[in-house]
Every structure is written in structure tokens, then in C-alpha cells.
Amino acid sequence: MLLKRVYLFCLVVLLSGCASISDGTRAIAYGWVDVSEVPGAKLQDVLFFKYDDFVETGTGLADGMQVAKFQGGYVFWHFDVGMGEYAISNFQTQTCLVVCGPINEYRLGIEGGAPTRINVVAPQAYFMGKYTLSEVSGGGLLARGSFDFQATRRGPSQAELIAFLRTQAPTGSFTSELLSTTR
């Protein structure tokens, strides 16, 4: 009987440790972008990097972010961001009709991504901003494509983005708990 109670106690402790994916060092990063003015106006991926990793190794692509069409643009987010400084490095778009065309990549680089920079110091939701990605004409037929990346006031409010993210978070997870306290 005592062994059964010890086993049950250990099981409860183990499962309660799994109830939250956070150890108090994870956060949420999110933002919104309008890509309707660039070729391949379907956002496929948003890549972001951690500054410390970039400085130390020369790389630092942390991960791809999830994306979803939302209010005339795309909301992008990552539910498991560690402590440190992050910024967007690349946006990838694609045109899909019957079949999908090649991926168009818009690289912001370490300085170009600066407007999206966040410093994650606590488990909370970090807004990376709202932006418009547009093509810049000029340079002729064979010239390499140029683009402009600007902050915008268009698009959904932060409250609308958080409300959308709440629908994407797993029920009962650390993420859903964190989003429920975000205004």
C-alpha cells in the first residue's frame, strides 16, 4: 500500500512538471506584415535570429515562425522564444495557383531587421511590429530585385493579434496562460 502511494505521488509530481512547457524562461514573439505588393504575395515563412548567436557564430537563424493570413496581411508568431535579443532576418513569399512557383526571399540582414528587434527578458508576449513589404522598381529587366520594408499603421491592432493568437495556442498550455494575461 505504501509503495502504491509513493508511486502515485511520483506520478503526480512528474505529470505536474509536464503541465507547463515553460520554466519561466520562455516567451511569445509576434507581428504582422502586408506582402501584397511583392511577387509571390503568399507569405510562406518568416525567419528570425538571436543576436548573441549571430555575433558568436556568424549564423544565428533561430527558427521559422508560424504564419497565417489575417486581416489583409499575415500574422507571424513563435510560442517558444528563449531569453535574449531577436529580430526578423528573412521573409519568404510564393505564388501558388495550380502549382506553386519559386520562393521569393527578402533578406533584411542584421541591420535591416533592427526595427523588429525585441529583447526577451521575461515570459510575456513581445510585439515585433506591423510592416509593409513592397517592391522597388528600377534597375531594368535583369536587375536584382529591390524591396522596401517599412513600419505601417495599417492592419490589425495588437489586441486583435493577441485575440487571434489565443485561438492558436494549445488549451491549458503555458502559451494559453500567458496570452490570457496579455491585453
Neighbour count for residue 125 (Cβ, 10 Å): 21
pLDDT for 76-93, tens place per residue?
999 988 899 999 988 999
Under 8 Å between Cβ of 168 and 66: yes
Radius of gyration of the chain (CA): 20
Amino acid, single-letter form, for residue 105: E
Query: What's the rounded mean pLDDT across residues 172-181?
Result: 77
pLDDT digits (tens, 9 = 90+) for 118-127: 999 999 999 9
Query: Is the pLDDT higher at 144 or at 9?
Result: 144
- Averaged pLDDT score across all residues of the chain: 79
For the purposes of burial, counting CB atoms within 10 Å of the CB of 151, is it exposed (0-12), middle (13-18) or buried (19 or more)?
exposed
Where residue 72 falls among pLDDT bands split at 50, 70, 90? very high
Encoded amino acid at 74, one letter? Y
CA distances from 130 to 71, 94, 153 (A): 12, 20, 7
Between these two residues, 4 and 103, which has the higher pLDDT value? 103
Residue 173: its pLDDT value, please? Answer: 76
Q: Count Cα neighbours of 68 within 13 Å in the Cβ-side half-sphere.
A: 9
* pTM attached to this predicted model: 0.79
Task: Please give the average per-residue pLDDT across 26-39, as a whole number.
Answer: 92
What is d(CA 32, CA 42) in angstroms, rounded to the nearest whole number? 13
pLDDT at 16: 34
* Most confident by average pLDDT, 12-21, 42-51, 149-158: 149-158
- Binned at pLDDT 50, 70 and 90, residue 133 comes out as very high
Residue linked to cell 502549382:
99
**Among residues 181, 31, 12, 179, which one has the least CA distance to residue 117?**
31
pLDDT tier at 74, thresholds 50, 70, 90? very high
Provide the pLDDT for residue 10.
38
With beta carbons less than 8 A apart as the criterion, state whether 28 and 120 touch. no
Q: In this model, does residue 143 exceed pLDDT 80?
A: no
Q: Is the pLDDT of residue 163 over 60?
A: yes
Share of the chain above pLDDT 90, in %: 37
